[in-house]
Homo-oligomer: A and B are copies of this chain.
Amino acid sequence: MPELRKDPVLGRWIIIAKERRKRPTDFLVEKSQVLGGFCPLCPGNEDFTPPEVLAYRGGCQSRSNQSDWQVRVVPNKYPALIIEGELGKAAEGLYDRMNGIGAHEVIIESPGHNDQLWNQPVEHIALVLRVYRDRLLDLQKDSRFRYVMIFKNYGKAAGASLEHSHSQLIALPVLPRMITNELDGGKSYFRYKDRCLFCDIIRQEIEQDVRVVCQNESFITISPFAPRTPFEMWVLPKRHTSGYCHEDDTELLKLARILSESLRRLDGCISNVPYNFVLHTQPLRSGELEHFHWHFEIVPKLTSIAGFEWGSGFYINPMPPEEATQYLRESLDS
Contact = CB atoms under 8 A, between A and B. Distances in A.
Given A201-B94, A306-B158, A2 B153 contact: no
A182 to B, nearest CB: 11
B5 A97 contact: yes
Contacts of A313: 176-178, 313
B93 A15 contact: no
B306 A3 contact: no
A319 interface: no
A17 interface: yes
A38 interface: no
Contacts of A225: 92, 95
A1 B177 contact: no
Interface string A76-108: 001111100100000011111111100000000
Contacts of A5: 95-97
A299 interface: yes
Which of A79, A177, A305, A307 has the largest count of B CB atoms less than 10 A from its CB? Answer: A307
B10 A278 contact: no
Interface string A268-305: 00000010101000000000000000000101010001
Taken together, the copies of this chain in the complex come to 2
A13 B174 contact: yes
A326 interface: no
Given A177-B10, A307-B301, A99 B4 contact: yes
Contact of A278 (B161, B175, B278, B311): B311
A177 B85 contact: no
A2 B81 contact: yes
Contacts of A17: 80, 100
A160 to B, nearest CB: 8
Interface residues on A, range: 35 or more
B100 A2 contact: yes
A145 to B, nearest CB: 12
Interface string A207-221: 110000000000000
B1 A95 contact: no
Contacts of A78: 19-20
B276 A96 contact: no
Contact of A306 (B13, B153, B308): B153
Given A200-B94, A314-B178, A157 B307 contact: yes
A177 B12 contact: yes
Given A153-B306, A308-B276, A80 B15 contact: yes
A152 B291 CA distance: 39
Identify the 10 closest CB pairs spanning chains A and B, nearest first: A159-B306, A2-B100, A310-B310, A158-B307, A159-B307, A276-B311, A159-B308, A6-B96, A93-B204, A12-B177
Interface of A: 1-6, 8, 10-13, 15-17, 19-20, 78-82, 85, 92-100, 149, 151, 153, 157-159, 161, 172-178, 180, 197, 200-201, 204, 207-208, 225-226, 274, 276, 278, 297, 299, 301, 305-314, 316
Given A2-B79, A158-B311, A176-B312, 4 more contacts: A2-B99, A95-B204, A274-B307, A310-B311
